[in-house]
Amino acid sequence: MTPGTMCGSQLPVEDFEELASAAPETVSLEFIDGRIEVKRMPDGDRGAIIMWLIRQCIQARPEWDLHPERGLVVEAYRKGRARPDGVLAPVAHFAGQGEWADPEGVLMTVEITSYDADTDRRDRVEKPGAYAAVGIPVYLLIDRDDSTVTVHAAPERGRYREIHTVSFGEVATMPEPVGFALDTEILKRYVR
């Protein structure tokens, strides 16, 4: 299966959740903008980036966990369901929740671009809107296409008011409630 849109018509969210729960482990499905999206499974470099970021988050704030591929309800965004590459939340925040968690209390979502045709629309346009609409304070985009890190903050009326971009090798400052800095030098190793 290739990444991208599988179905262009509206699908009830309940039907999507049933389909997603039956999907094989080699396929990650999202429900964005009323469409089923096939999300490319992480390549080795993308996996290395998320593991690096997990270590950075734990070192900076041990009371938080960065959950890879955690399903979130992004209801305000056309009854959406998203699987960010990373979801930062307090330790045990998702205990007792099902596959698709409420975004309340999430501190940051992370996306790492894939080398596919849908990454522009999905990671740079649709996802920031979805995450801002449900009030997630920070959205971190690690963009391997142009070797940048973009920090989106201050969600208001479905968009982030503050957007700051740095090149790989520079320091990216995460605003509160995240409140720590990332030295992005290592990210230069993980681009084509």
Measured in Å, how far apart are the chain's first and last C-alpha atoms?
23
Rounded distance, CA 40 to CA 116, Å?
8
Look at residue 30 and tell me if it is in a domain. no
DSSP symbol at 170: B
Six-digit token string for 144: 């391997």
Look at residue 27 and tell me if it is in a domain. no
- Name beta bridge partners: 135: none
Look at residue 5 and tell me if it is in a domain. no
Look at residue 16 and tell me if it is in a domain. no
Task: Return per-residue pLDDT of the chain as tens, 192 residues.
Answer: 334 444 444 667 677 767 666 665 655 666 666 666 666 655 779 889 999 999 999 999 999 999 998 999 987 644 788 889 999 999 999 999 988 899 999 999 999 988 766 666 777 778 898 899 999 999 999 999 899 999 999 999 989 999 999 999 999 999 999 999 999 999 999 988
Residue 61 φ then ψ, to 5°: -145, 85
Domain count of the chain?
1
Look at residue 21 and tell me if it is in a domain. no
Look at residue 11 and tell me if it is in a domain. no
Look at residue 22 and tell me if it is in a domain. no
Domain that holds residue 182: 42-190
Look at residue 77 and tell me if it is in a domain. yes
Q: Which CATH number belongs to the domain containing residue 180 in this structure?
A: 3.90.1570.10
